Amino acid sequence: MGRHPGLAFALAHPAHFVALGFGIGALPRAPGTFGTLVALPLWWLLDRMLDPLALAGALAGLFALGVWACTLTGRHLGVADHGAMVWDEIVAFMLVLSVAPKAWPWQLAAFVLFRAFDIAKPPPIRAFERRFKGGFGVMFDDLLAAGYTLFVLALVKRIAY
C-alpha cells in the first residue's frame, strides 16, 4: 500500500488536497469511511443550491476533478489506488445520496451498504478495478459500488413498500 501520507502531503498540492478529501484521507484509520461521511455535508449543500440537472452536472465535474487529482496523487504516492485517496468515496456517495430517499433511515442504510460494497468489492467491481488504472480506475470502481447500493435500496423499497 505504500506509506500513509500525512496532512502535510495533503496540503502540498491541490491535487493531493482533493484526492485526500480535504485532508480527511490523511487519517491513519478508516479513511474511506470518514471520506464517505464527508460526502454528507457536501451533498446537503449542493442539493439545496442546485436543481437536479445542475447537480448531475456538478457530480460529473467532481468525478472528472477526481480523475485528475487521483491520477496525480497516486503517481506522487507511488500507489495508483492508495487507501488515503477518498475523493472516489465522496463523489460516489454523493451520487447515491442524490438518488436515494432523503429520509435519514434510507441515508443511513445507503451509507452502510455503500461502505460494505466498497470494501468487499463483489464481482465485477474487483475485475474493473484491476482493468482500469490511474485516476479513472480509482473513481470508477466506487461508481460500481454506488450502483450496487442503489440497486439494493431500490429492491428494499420495492419489496417493503
Q: Which helix (H) or strand (E) holds 76?
A: helix 52-77
Percent of the chain at pLDDT > 70 equals: 99
The model's pLDDT over 2-20, given as tens digits with 9 standing for 90+, comes to 578 999 999 999 999 999 9
For residue 1, pLDDT beyond 60? no
Place of cell 442539493: 47
How crowded is residue 126: how many other Cβ atoms within 10 Å of its Cβ? 13
Query: Cβ(56)–Cβ(41) under 8 Å?
Result: no
Query: Cβ(139)–Cβ(88) under 8 Å?
Result: yes
Kindly list the domain boundaries of the chain, sorted by start residue.
Answer: 7-160
Give the C-alpha distances (Å, rounded to integers) separating 94 from 68, 80, 158: 18, 23, 22
The model's pLDDT over 146-156, given as tens digits with 9 standing for 90+, comes to 999 999 999 99
The predicted model scores a pTM of 0.94
The model's pLDDT over 88-136, given as tens digits with 9 standing for 90+, comes to 999 999 999 999 999 999 999 999 999 999 999 999 988 888 888 899 9
